[in-house]
Amino acid sequence: MTIIQKAKPTSPGRRHVVSIKHDHLAKSKPMKKLTKAKVKIDGRNNKGQITVRHRGGGHKKLYRLVDFKRQMDGIKATVRKIEYDPNRSAHIALICYENGKWSYVIAAAGLSIGDTIYNGPDSPIKPGNFIPLNKVPQGTIISCIEIAPLGGAKLARSAGSYANLVSKDHQYALVKLRSGEVRKIHIDSRVMIGSVSNEKHSLKELGKAGAKRWRGIRPTVRGVAMNPIDHPHGGGEGRTSGGRPAVSPTGVKAKGKKTRHNKRTDKMIVTRRKKRD
């Protein structure tokens, strides 16, 4: 059961906190053999240079080895636990196959302890099952979508995400994503039936800056509030608007310039995503 709680304003840090209580999540530690250490890089490349700003610090995390390919076809798997994963917004399910193999998978909405899920073309159309698109009826809500067969789930993996199977032909299926983009996906690619769990994740309010720091996110400072040596918008007498078109700290235009140039997969996009106002 999921409960939305608004904290009592006992302090400035608690006044705006909205938390989501999940009674069904396991309190125990993750399965050790399905985890590994996660090295923090804090937005730096192999030379130690900052390439992504506003990252650093935060609590130490243990990475859960989530199976995005799910290639054990025709073997019944039972859900043993639904767990919180600090590395993603969605919940994960610990499953045990009939042959004794354990695995973590992205939990579908409505999945609970004791449920059975399947992989492969002979699986029923039921939330949590991982099935090729050619076996999925048109209009079905899907998530955890492979872009290429056997490539592992790439699309619609975050909390509450889903897509809609619009149509199919002999080679490709048209899938409409939440952004409004309609994309061609190979008919042999696999998808999970149903939407992703933790759909109320977007209602959560951290309430204070410190809660962001626990998650490894550092403050964002406006360029106009900096000195000229720190940012192209910095300096000037009094309050200024920057005096030039908006740019990044390295001088790259921040508005109006396209940043996505993946021409290799552009041919798979039928309808572009909707532009935000």
Do 24 and 113 meet the contact criterion of CB atoms below 8 Å apart?
yes
Q: What is the pLDDT of residue 277?
A: 53
Residue 209 domain flag:
no
Chain segment 167-183, per-residue pLDDT in tens: 999 899 999 999 999 99
Write the CATH number for 100.
Answer: 2.40.50.140
pLDDT of 213 over the 80 cut: yes
Of 167-181, 203-217, 249-263, the range with the lowest mean pLDDT is: 249-263
The confidence band for 257, taking pLDDT boundaries of 50, 70 and 90, is confident
Residue 215 lies inside a defined structural domain of this protein: no
For the segment 231-258, the average pLDDT, to the nearest whole number, is 90
Give residue-wise pLDDT tens across range 2-47: 899 999 999 999 999 999 999 999 999 999 999 999 999 999 999 9
Residue 259: CATH number of its domain: 4.10.950.10
Is the same domain home to 173 and 246? no
pLDDT at residue 17 in the model: 97
Longest dimension (CA), the chain: 72
Instruction: Confirm whether 222 is domain-assigned.
Output: no
Domain that holds residue 232: 227-277
Residue 116, pLDDT score: 97
Question: Has residue 209 got a pLDDT over 80?
Answer: yes
**Domain identity same for 127 and 246:** no
239 within a domain of the structure (yes/no)? yes
Q: With cut-offs at 50, 70 and 90, classify the pLDDT of residue 276.
A: low
Report how many domains make up the chain.
Answer: 2
* pLDDT value at 56 more than 60: yes
Task: Please check whether residues 137 and 270 belong to one and the same domain.
Answer: no
- Say if 221 falls within a structural domain: no
Is 125 within the bounds of a domain?
yes
Tell which residue, 119, 2, 25, has the closest CA to residue 80: 25
How would you write the chain as a 3-class SS string? CEEEEECCCCCCCCCCCEEEEECCCCCCCCCHHHEEECCCCCCECCCCCECCCCECCCCCCEEECECCCCCCCCCCEEEEEEECCCCCCCCEEEEEECCCCEEEEECECCCCCCCEECECCCCCCCCCCEEEHHHCCCCCEEECEECCCCCCEEECCCCCCCEEEEEECCCEEEEECCCCCEEEEECCCEEEECCECCCCHHHCECCCHHHHHHCCECCCCCHHHCCCCCCCCCCCCCCCCCCCCCECCCCCECCCCCCCCCHHHHCCEEECCCCCC
Residue 216 lies in a domain: no
Question: Looking at residues 77-87, what average pLDDT do you find?
Answer: 97
CB–CB of 129/155 below 8 Å? no
The arithmetic mean of pLDDT across residues 125-133, rounded, is 97
Residue 134 class from Cβ within 10 Å (0-12 exposed, 13-18 middle, 19+ buried)? middle
207 falls within a domain: no
265 band by pLDDT with thresholds 50, 70 and 90: confident
Provide the pLDDT for residue 2.
Answer: 84
Residues 117 and 17 in one domain: yes
Quick one: 135 and 237 in the same domain?
A: no
> Given this model, what pLDDT does residue 98 score?
96
pLDDT of residue 258 exceeding 90, the answer is no
